[in-house]
Amino acid sequence: MIGIIDYGVGNVGSILNMLKHISVDAFLAKTPSDIEKATKLILPGVGSFDYGMTLLNESGLREVVDKKVIADNLPVLGICLGMQMMTRGSEEGTLSGLNWINGNCIKFKFDDDLKNIRIPHMGWNDIHVQKDNDSFFPMINNELQFYFAHSYHLICNNDIVTATCKYGYEFPVAFHQDNIFGAQFHPEKSHQFGMNFLMAFAKYCTAD
């Protein structure tokens, strides 16, 4: 059963509703015992980096989440800010991230010829799968689109990047490293594309 880490930030209700809509067993994980009984985890997040890390650090869940992900290799999916929090840190704040992957987050930086591009990157955009036959991204009518809302983006080792997106320039929007998955986009706002993505995560975890 997927435990959605409820540490006080993120649209956890929307994620839970979409998982229920696609008949995936899920619940809001609010206590350490909730985390312990989950067979996979989702780390959501919206807002600023330091705000998210502060709430997670003060929630009483950080230690058990670290244990389940790092020591027990429990599959985990970070969404938007949740994905960014999996890195070492972000230009948006001063606090350290979870340091689960070797990466950082930086603000969009555009050359003068792209200065009219607005920040944040908000709305629908195409993504480009970087690994052949990646089952997390089944296309619909030859399209692969997701909903974004962010001003900072990931930089990391290209070996773990599974999808990119172009907004002024190409940047990573999804990664997979061992049991750790990240998505900059919002699958819970991405209609059938998001449903397929979350179903693929649920099936991957079940298969493992």
153, 165, 186, 205: the catalytic one is 186
d(CA 154, CA 87): 8
Other beta carbons within 10 Å of 177: 18
**Residue 128 appears among annotated catalytic residues:** no
153, 165, 188, 205: the catalytic one is 188
Nearest-Å Rg of the Cα atoms of the chain is 16
d(CA 4, CA 89): 22
Question: 66-104 burial, b if ≥16 CB within 10 A, otherwise e?
Answer: eebbbeeebbbbbbbbbbbbbbebbebbebebbebbebb
CB 34 within 8 A of CB 3: yes
d(CA 82, CA 150): 12
58, 80, 91, 153: the catalytic one is 80
d(CA 124, CA 74): 31
**Residue 186 appears among annotated catalytic residues:** yes
Ramachandran region, residue 98 (left: φ > 0; alpha: ψ -120 to 50; beta: rest): alpha
Q: Known catalytic residues?
A: 80, 186, 188
